[in-house]
Amino acid sequence: MKPIKIIVLLFVFSQLKIFAQTFDPNLSADLQHTIDSFQSAYNLKGISASVFVPNEGIWKGVTGVSHPGVPITPETGFAIASNSKLFTGVLLLKLAENGLLSLDDSLHEHLPPFNNVDPNITVRQLLNHTSGLSDVNIPGYGDSMLADPYRVFQPAEIIGWVPPPLTAPGGGWSYCNTNYLLAGLVAESVTGQSFSQLLRDNLLNPLNMDSTYLAVYENSTVVPAHPWQGGMDFSSTPRISINSAAWSAGAMYSTSSEMVHWYRALMGGQVINQNSLQEMTTFVGSGSYGVGIAEATIAGRTIWQHGGTIWGGYNSSMMYDPTSGAVICVLINQLPAQAFQVAAQLLSELVEQGLGFQGTSQDEVPLLYPNPTSDLVRLNVKGYDQGTFQVSDGHGQLLLSGKVTEPHLELSLAPFPKGVYVLTVQLEKETKHWRILKQ
């Protein structure tokens, strides 16, 4: 009878989503209610979220399923997509610390020439997206990956598809996966090692991150959640071509708790030195971007954050509050999804509880949603009337402008192509920026 009792108990605990917490029970319940509410309201397949607050500990919450009959657990893996960029950027910073390269090095010092890639672009310009390069999102790019899902794309092959540059190096800011594919090649060139091995030896193994890995190039026992997109389960579609094409710009998988562990160690000075941390958090351009991380104002806080979306059904959001040291990770196995909105609401819950967040209010700065979006975005602007707004593309070209006269600003990006846009709200005494991803 004992084995039966154990199984029953495990089933009950799983169904009630009870995990060991050191958080205040009321706060734990509020955080769980937040992810449950989002999962229900938007009919999301599954969410895994982890939150760390100093002096409170780590909260882990899950809701929904990987696929029918298989619930999400804290050990379920997810593709983190562009949240891979921070790993790549930090790896380059470590190589610079070790004297293997300089951030001021030009590409021609480490790589052969590529069409439409200026050889004088510096490593720093790659990492903060000021290289002027175009992204690889050209017609037929996605179809080519699906046509042969088992194909392993080589980074140089992908870079060979890059269109002509947008600007000269340093001539503007534009978020671009090409930058981080080139950064991965630079890392391999200066070390003679594979990118996956460099990640494992320099970052993942020292931090005991056994559930984090670079897909295609590493094997893992972690079971990933089934990816869903447009209501369809894409788990039967091999992701070899998709992930190899993303490589050092977005092919990593992890769990929400390990991602929180990663941010804690990194921001706590356990991975790179203070000079490198300063470099990482020197934010530039309209995207307010550093190295693999950006600065934004969310729920009245200045937050360091990054999002990630990859075809077939994964969406991720990371947030770090540099004042309190709190870390939030939200992973979702569906597109379209709202990982950013879920993370922002979890942050708001912490703000309301006053856990290391005294002196700010959720209403001090408006929340932009949904983001990413396919069309409309809305900005709650209570208390921000009589301001002005501007929307520009990733190259700084002005697309929309007007006055803020209503408590809810609604903008349509329908006329514009997919990409990154920047919303700027000018107030009497300050200016706020938000980065919008149109999918």
Which residues does 328 contact at the CB level (< 8 Å), separation at least 6? 49, 50, 51, 52, 260, 317, 318, 319, 320, 343, 346, 347
Give residue 402's pLDDT.
83
303 and 388 together in one domain:
no
Residue 98 and residue 189 share a domain: yes
Judged by average pLDDT, the poorest of 178-182, 232-236, 380-384, 427-431 is 380-384
pLDDT tier at 268 (50, 70, 90 boundaries)?
very high
Planar angle of CA 345, 346, 350, nearest 5 degrees: 115
pLDDT at 99 over 70: yes
Residue 19 lies in a domain: no
What's residue 13's pLDDT?
35
Q: Clarify whether residues 383 and 335 are in a common domain.
A: no
In a domain, 45, yes or no: no
Among 71-80, 294-303, 357-366, which stretch is predicted with the lowest mean pLDDT?
Answer: 357-366
Helix, strand, coil share (%) of the chain residues, nearest 5: 30, 25, 45
Q: What is the pLDDT of residue 4?
A: 36
pLDDT confidence band for 303 (50 / 70 / 90): very high
What pLDDT, on a 0 to 100 scale, did the predictor assign at position 19?
Answer: 40
Total number of domains in the chain: 2
pLDDT score for 6: 35
Strand partners, 373: 438
Peptide bond into 372 cis (omega under 30): yes
Which tokens belong to 433? 């920026």
> Residue range 7-26: average pLDDT?
46
Q: Are residues 286 and 386 in the same domain?
A: no
63-67, 259-263, 284-288: the lowest-pLDDT one = 284-288
pLDDT for 191 equals: 98
Q: What is the pLDDT of residue 139?
A: 59
Same domain, 242 and 103: yes
pLDDT above 50 for 364: no
CATH number, domain of 229, equals 3.40.710.10
Within a domain: 174: yes
Choose the final residue of a domain: 293, 313, 345.
345
- Give me the mean pLDDT over the 245-266 stretch: 97
Indicate if the pLDDT at residue 376 is higher than 90. no
Q: Are residues 309 and 396 in the same domain?
A: no
Q: Is the pLDDT of residue 353 over 90?
A: no
Q: In this structure, are 332 and 433 located in the same domain?
A: no
Task: Give the pLDDT band (50/70/90) at residue 305.
Answer: very high
Domain final residue pick, 312, 345, 378: 345
| Domain harbouring 427, CATH code | 2.60.40.3080
Is 12 a residue whose pLDDT tops 80?
no
Is residue 197 located within the same domain as residue 150?
yes
User: Phi/psi of residue 301, each to 5°?
Assistant: -120, 150
Q: Verify that 103 and 235 share a domain, yes or no.
A: yes
Task: Tell me if 69 is assigned to some domain.
Answer: no
In this model, does residue 153 exceed pLDDT 80?
Answer: yes
183 and 229 together in one domain: yes
Is the pLDDT at 335 greater than 80? The verdict is yes
358 located within any domain: no
- Whether the predicted pLDDT of 323 surpasses 70: yes
Asked if the structure places residue 225 within a domain, the reply is yes
In a domain, 10, yes or no: no
pLDDT of residue 423: 81
Average pLDDT over residues 325-353: 93
Instruction: State the pLDDT at residue 189.
Output: 98
- Where does the pLDDT of residue 9 fall: very low under 50, low under 70, confident under 90, or very high at 90 and above? very low
Q: What is the 3-state secondary structure (H, E, C) of 166-189?
A: CCCCCCCCCCCHHHHHHHHHHHHH
More confident residue, 351 or 199: 199
Q: Do 275 and 226 belong to one domain? A: yes
Which one has a higher pLDDT value, 243 or 381? Answer: 243
Tell me whether residue 240 is in a domain: yes
> 148: which residues sit within 8 A by CB, 6+ positions away?
241
pLDDT of res. 395: 62
Domain range enclosing 392: 368-438
Q: Are residues 268 and 372 in the same domain?
A: no
Q: Report the share of the chain in percent with pLDDT over 70.
A: 84
**Average pLDDT rounded to a whole number, residues 149-161:** 92
Average pLDDT for the chain: 86
* Confidence at residue 430, expressed as pLDDT on a 0 to 100 scale: 63
